[in-house]
Amino acid sequence: MQAPCQESEPTYQDGEPSASLPKRPRTFDTASNGGIYPNHDAHSPLVHGDYTIAWICALPLELAASRAMLDEEHPLTPNQAGDENVYVLGRIDQHNVVMTCLPGQYGTNNAAIVATNLKRSFPSIRATLMYDMGKATVGGLFQGTAEAKTPAWLLNSAVSALRSKHGPHRSSSQMASILRSRLPNILRPSHPDRLFQASYEHPPGAPTCIDCDPEKLQPRGARLSGEPRIHYGVIASGNRVMKDGNARDDIAQRLSALCFEMEAAGMMDNLQCLPIRGICDYSDSHKNKEWQDYAAATAAAYARELLEGLPPSSRTFDRTPTYITVEKAACLRSLGFRDIDARLHDIAAAYQGTCDWLFSTTQFQKWRDRIDLSSHNGVLWIKGKPGAGKSTLMKHALHRCEELSADHLIVAYFFNARGEILEKTPLGMLQSIVYQLLDKDDTLYERFRTIYEKQRVFKEGESVWPQAQLEDFIRSIINKRQSKTLLLVDALYECADRDVQYVVGFLESLSEDAVRAGVTLRICLSSRHYPNVSMRKTLALTVEASKEHGRDIATYIAQKLE
């Protein structure tokens, strides 16, 4: 998949930006009810799980342009503990969107922190609008540092549909209309842009290009239209600003890179991310900010058009939004614990073009489509030797399920042997499962509230939840849920041997109860090979037995040795 860039015809003429960015769009009030949320109270925020699209900006001026794309703004909700991001919440078309901006520091590391915190506070994010191929080093050289990363399947499909709509001209009348209606004061600069020869450096200390040698300009033909043009291809991401024309051309030729940026690579492992870049300069020493506002506006307009064509999550329509109360927040805190999802975020994302073989296996398809259910009770058990890549495969499966199973309530737990006690014990797994169930389905909290009120003897940072009580609650709600549930449990080998048997037995009994009750429950778990631990009915998949897995390893090694 190739990421989109909007060519805003960057310039190197002197002068200030032609217009300032707009003020924030209107907020949602009770007078504007009648939209997606006719019962929404403007003074009560939606819960975190209602937000399914993340929109991350690098600069405040980009956030300003992005806010203008909102149809309405929502009141803020409390962040999860430790999340220091500042968010803007709202709606675009049929999607609830959470926006944020990097905290004044560029680079992939800071972007990764922002992405990790956002995912913790907003667990239902299914798509993010924002390729780690390397960085420019001192002397203008380029050093490859990581593998290529590609956007998620859901976003690939949305971009493909939009490309077919725009046709061969690579322009969009709808995007132009969005710009005119939502950012009327942001105009395309009137001066033609100037591209200097790659070897010609900007005079040191000169604030503008007024004294730059016009004989060093690169001759180019005039464009027939002043409308933004959309390009799709590789975006190079690193930790330094690209300001070297020779290095730029070298990378562009070797990697077919369209442009350079500093954030997307830090997000690809944590969020289902699509980088969208408005082009405002030529990545050489002749940088100025004249085209920055217009570039930010065109990128925001493209992102809005993309969202307008993206199918909404079923949770947008399947329930009337409820609002998190102080009591519910306290209940969730009693279940949560430090680094509850740390292992998930620490696992490397699947290398480009790998792990997709899982979805074409007979076992996965039977599990997904519930074929011959009586033989496996909806359980897919992925087994493999140490180091076979089971956790990466499980993380990849989780992301794919989030894209394709929007009508499921999806809960995942990744055991972590190097973490605190709760990260590697069944009690921690149960607390996490209940936490996610309550956070994602407000009706379940009402059923759990009486249990919580009887159990309200909590010390700060200390769990007093009886394991059997949480187990009984999970059994009761799974067997009575009318909607579909998907449960993924990774790395059983990360907990003690005695606990492995317990977890397997618990999951097996859950699956049997669900089949008897006629409810839809899919369970996927991963572990090493345990000769003395088994289930009576399951779909078993051995990672190292797959020829495709062997090809994945060969692909990864070959790319690393290039």
Mean pLDDT value of segment 85-104:
92
Does any domain span residue 499? Answer: yes
At 197-214, the pLDDT tens digits run: 888 999 888 888 888 998
Which of the pair, 483 or 383, is modelled with greater confidence? 383
pLDDT higher than threshold 60 for residue 112? yes
**Cα–Cα dist 20/159, whole Å:** 30
pLDDT higher than threshold 60 for residue 15? no
Output Rg (C-alpha) for the chain, integer angstroms.
Answer: 25
Would you call 183 exposed, middle or buried from its count of C-beta atoms within 10 A (0-12, 13-18, 19+)? buried
Q: Are residues 166 and 205 in the same domain?
A: yes
**Cα–Cα dist 196/211, whole Å:** 13
* Confidence at 3, pLDDT banded by 50, 70, 90: low
Domain boundary among 262, 282, 315: 315
Which of the pair, 481 or 548, is modelled with greater confidence? 548
> With the C-alpha atoms ordered 501, 502, 503, 505, is the resulting torsion angle positive or negative?
positive
Domain boundary among 315, 344, 360: 315
CATH number at residue 9: 3.40.50.1580
At 229-247, the pLDDT tens digits run: 888 888 887 667 788 888 8
Q: Are residues 153 and 181 in the same domain?
A: yes
Q: Are residues 291 and 369 in the same domain?
A: no
Return the pLDDT at 337: 87
**Cα–Cα dist 87/316, whole Å:** 20
Mean pLDDT value of segment 532-557:
89
Residues 6+ apart with CB under 8 A from 270: 112, 115, 116, 119, 345
Domain boundary among 287, 315, 343: 315
pLDDT higher than threshold 50 for residue 264? yes
The pair of three-digit structure tokens given for residue 461, joined into one six-digit string: 């940072």
SS3 assignment, position 14: coil
Calculate what percentage of the chain has a pLDDT beyond 70. Answer: 81
Average pLDDT taken over every residue of the chain? 80
* Confidence at 483, pLDDT banded by 50, 70, 90: confident
Return the pLDDT at 403: 80
The total domain count for the chain is 2
Q: What are phi and psi of 136, to 5 degrees?
A: -80, 130
Return the pLDDT at 457: 55
**Cα–Cα dist 471/495, whole Å:** 18
Return the pLDDT at 31: 30
pLDDT higher than threshold 70 for residue 315? no
Q: Are residues 304 and 335 in the same domain?
A: no
Return the pLDDT at 132: 33
Is the distance from CB of 79 to CB of 121 less than 8 angstroms? yes
Return the pLDDT at 267: 67
At 278-295, the pLDDT tens digits run: 888 888 888 778 888 999
Does any domain span residue 222? Answer: no
Least confident of 161-165, 485-489, 500-504: 161-165
At 140-167, the pLDDT tens digits run: 334 444 455 666 677 888 888 888 888 8
pLDDT higher than threshold 90 for residue 541? yes
pLDDT higher than threshold 70 for residue 332? yes
Return the pLDDT at 106: 56
